[in-house]
């Protein structure tokens, strides 16, 4: 019972969802009783028989075995057995027998029989008077370990830094959704004691999960569309007009913010009356050429073409997305992942083309406005139709550039955060609490102070970066904020998630093949197709395929 009481108290404290401690006590008490019953059942053969007990009474009371003989011959029918039975019954009914029985067979308790009741009293005392062990108390006791506390503080600091980084980019926070909130704090408090190594592994696992999601963001349709637009705009030629040239160069560099500024200046210049006709004609010609280049870039489908050629398909199919879809459906040398990647590239290309055409139309609209002399009416006031056209052109272009800027911000933030996550996986967060180098100048500032001050310093720095971003509308790339010793111990990352990386790294490190492992399939398909084409062209057959 004492063991039951202690066990039930521990179970009730550690697993309160299973019921009240009274229920547990009763259950364990029932278990104890059942155990005793089973033991009694198993030892029933050792209990002396009735005749043995009677024989013992006969011997102790010198009854000449009358009782035991009567019991033994009770089933017999001969006269002597009947006489023995009557004799035994007569002796058993004698009052003197019951009186002397107590003296002859006194009830003697076992020598250590007091131990049992004492244990029962102890069990009841433990059950009713000893307070239950609360998980929080145990957690506090375990948490009092300085190494565990330091590891938890470092992990919390790292997660807070990541959270701050996510909050810096609304687009990224929007893409990550509620995942961002989950990475900041633990989803639910854990009651079991943890070691510093377990805390580090848990942090590394969270970083790995976030990094994978960031990979998904960077390979999403938005970022690929942005990449396609950049590729398309990278080949445009700037005009002679300074305003158009600034716009074209900004577009060529993929700097959406600069392009917006240049667009605003150009539209202001167009609307102004100070520009002479020659300059206006030059600007109109440049805008017309720029619009044409953007339209041509949209039609070129360079990104899709490159993706198709990388996948070993005909790049000319990029001009016809329906043909690409049909080719993908018929392609047997591509796996599902490659096909999905190409379909995503098609969508991205379509999105990029739509934006480029929209931008091209804006440029054309600006060109026509420029040709019309800043949309001035004959009385010198701007016409309402021209004003509307000017407004549409500016709004469309600004809308495209806004989207482009948002996509760029998302891409930069995702890349930055992914870099931070990957660097955090390889470094122990516990190092921050020990004053180790945190990486860069920021890390040093964090490491100098106590843990709480370090967290505050990170928060203050992030706030500062937020304010800078808000004023200059520049994307802030948060660099490596946490530096710590490598995480050691058992990895919780699923093996199948990192198996391809392990295999690739092994092959790259052990083989001399100049072709990278991830391009070998493409290399094989490409040259395999070339060989088939050459064979078809020359009419030769491969030696292995020749018929006997």
Partner 1 sequence: MNTAEQLQSIRTSEDVRAASVEFRGAAQRLREEISRVLVGQEQTVTSVLVALFANGHVLLEGVPGLGKTLLVRTLGQALGLGFSRVQFTPDLMPADIIGTQIVMEDPRTGQREFTFRPGPLFTQILLADEINRASPKSQSALLEAMQERSITVGGMTHTLKQPFLVLATQNPIEQEGTYPLPEAQLDRFLIKVIVPPVEREALTEIVERTTGVPSAATEVKPVLTAEQIAWAQGLARLVVVAPHVQDYAVRLTLATQPGGAFSPPECEHLIAVGSSPRGAQAILSCAKVMALMGGRTAVSTQDIAAAALPALRHRVVRSFEAEAGGMTTDALVQQLIHATPAELQPAGEAA
Which residues are at the interface with partner 1 (CB under 8 A)? Answer: 48-49, 51-52, 55-56, 58-59, 62-66, 68-69, 72-73, 76, 78-84, 86-87
For partner 1, which is the closer residue by CB, 5 or 67?
A: 67
Shortest reach from residue 77's CB to partner 1, in Å = 10
For the CA atoms of the chain, what is the radius of gyration?
A: 44
- Sequence-distant (6+) residues with CB within 8 A of 117 are none
For partner 1, which is the closer residue by CB, 80 or 128?
A: 80
| Phi and psi at residue 376, to the nearest 5° | -90, 140
Residues paired with 525 in a beta bridge:
none
Between CA 347 and CA 337 the distance in angstroms is 15
For every residue of 182-250, DSSP letters joined together read HHHS-SS---S---HHHHHHHHHHHHHHHHHHHHHHHTSHHHHHHHHHHHHHTT----SSHHHHHHHHH
Shortest reach from residue 106's CB to partner 1, in Å = 17
Between CA 29 and CA 3 the distance in angstroms is 10
Shortest reach from residue 38's CB to partner 1, in Å = 22
Shortest reach from residue 136's CB to partner 1, in Å = 59
For partner 1, which is the closer residue by CB, 79 or 542?
A: 79
For partner 1, which is the closer residue by CB, 84 or 458?
A: 84
Shortest reach from residue 87's CB to partner 1, in Å = 6
Question: What does DSSP assign to residue 515?
Answer: S
Shortest reach from residue 95's CB to partner 1, in Å = 21
Shortest reach from residue 139's CB to partner 1, in Å = 58
- Sequence-distant (6+) residues with CB within 8 A of 439 are 423, 479, 480, 481, 482, 483
For partner 1, which is the closer residue by CB, 86 or 273?
A: 86
Shortest reach from residue 49's CB to partner 1, in Å = 7
For partner 1, which is the closer residue by CB, 64 or 240?
A: 64
Question: What does DSSP assign to residue 385?
Answer: H
Q: Which residue has the tokens 């107590």?
A: 102
| Phi and psi at residue 221, to the nearest 5° | -65, -35
Q: Which of 324, 289, 328 is nearest to 305 (CA)?
A: 324
Pull the structure tokens for residue 548: 């006997």
For partner 1, which is the closer residue by CB, 33 or 59?
A: 59
Shortest reach from residue 107's CB to partner 1, in Å = 18
For partner 1, which is the closer residue by CB, 61 or 484?
A: 61
Q: How far apart, in Å, do the first and last CA atoms of the chain sit?
A: 89
Between CA 65 and CA 57 the distance in angstroms is 8
- Sequence-distant (6+) residues with CB within 8 A of 400 are 355, 358, 359, 362
Shortest reach from residue 17's CB to partner 1, in Å = 52
For partner 1, which is the closer residue by CB, 96 or 547?
A: 96
For partner 1, which is the closer residue by CB, 73 or 279?
A: 73
Between CA 77 and CA 73 the distance in angstroms is 8
């Amino acid at each position: 019972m004492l063991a039951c009481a202690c066990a039930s108290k521990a179970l009730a404290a550690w697993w309160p969802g299973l019921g009240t401690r009274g229920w547990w006590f009763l259950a364990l008490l029932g278990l104890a009783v059942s155990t005793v019953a089973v033991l009694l059942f198993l030892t029933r053969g050792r209990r002396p028989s009735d005749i043995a007990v009677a024989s013992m009474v006969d011997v102790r009371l010198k009854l000449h075995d009358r009782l035991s003989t009567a019991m033994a011959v009770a089933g017999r029918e001969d006269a002597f057995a009947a006489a023995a039975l009557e004799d035994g019954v007569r002796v058993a009914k004698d009052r003197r027998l019951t009186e002397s029985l107590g003296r002859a067979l006194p009830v003697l308790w076992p020598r250590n029989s007091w131990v049992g009741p004492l244990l029962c009293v102890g069990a009841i005392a433990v059950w009713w008077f000893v307070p239950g062990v609360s998980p929080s108390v145990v957690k506090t006791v375990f948490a009092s370990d300085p190494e565990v506390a330091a590891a938890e503080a470092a992990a919390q600091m790292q997660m807070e830094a990541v959270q701050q980084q996510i909050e810096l980019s609304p687009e990224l926070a929007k893409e990550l959704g509620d995942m961002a909130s989950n990475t900041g704090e633990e989803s639910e408090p854990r009651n079991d004691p943890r070691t510093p190594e377990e805390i580090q592994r848990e942090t590394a696992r969270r970083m790995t999960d976030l990094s994978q999601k960031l990979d998904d963001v960077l390979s999403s349709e938005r970022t690929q569309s942005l990449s396609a637009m950049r590729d398309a705009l990278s080949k445009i030629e700037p005009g002679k007009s300074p305003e158009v040239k600034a716009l074209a160069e900004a577009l060529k560099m993929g700097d959406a913010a600069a392009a917006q500024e240049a667009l605003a200046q150009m539209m202001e210049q167009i609307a102004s009356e100070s520009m002479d006709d020659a300059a206006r004609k030059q600007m109109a010609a440049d805008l017309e050429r720029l619009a044409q280049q953007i339209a041509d870039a949209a039609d070129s489908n360079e990104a899709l073409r490159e993706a198709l050629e990388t996948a070993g398909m005909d790049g000319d199919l990029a001009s016809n997305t329906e043909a690409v879809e049909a080719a993908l459906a018929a392609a047997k040398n591509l796996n599902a992942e490659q096909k999905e990647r190409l379909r995503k590239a098609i969508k991205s290309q379509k999105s990029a083309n739509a934006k480029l055409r929209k931008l091209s139309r804006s440029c054309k609209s600006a060109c026509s406005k420029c040709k019309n002399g800043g949309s001035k009416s004959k009385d010198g006031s701007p016409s309402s139709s021209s004003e509307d056209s000017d407004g549409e052109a500016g709004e469309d272009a600004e809308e495209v550039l806004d989207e482009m800027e948002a996509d760029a911000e998302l891409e930069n933030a995702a890349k930055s955060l992914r870099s931070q996550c990957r660097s955090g996986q390889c470094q122990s967060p516990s190092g921050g609490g020990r004053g180790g180098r945190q990486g860069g100048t920021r890390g040093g500032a964090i490491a100098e102070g106590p843990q709480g001050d370090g967290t505050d310093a990170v928060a203050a720095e992030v706030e500062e970066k937020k304010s800078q971003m808000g004023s200059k509308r520049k994307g802030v790339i948060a660099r490596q904020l946490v530096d710590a010793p490598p995480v050691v111990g058992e990895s919780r990352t699923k093996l199948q998630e990192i198996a391809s990386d392990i295999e690739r790294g092994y092959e790259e490190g052990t083989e001399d093949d100049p072709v990278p492992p991830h391009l070998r399939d493409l290399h094989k398909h490409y040259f395999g197709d070339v060989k088939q084409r050459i064979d078809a062209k020359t009419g030769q057959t491969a030696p292995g395929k020749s018929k006997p």
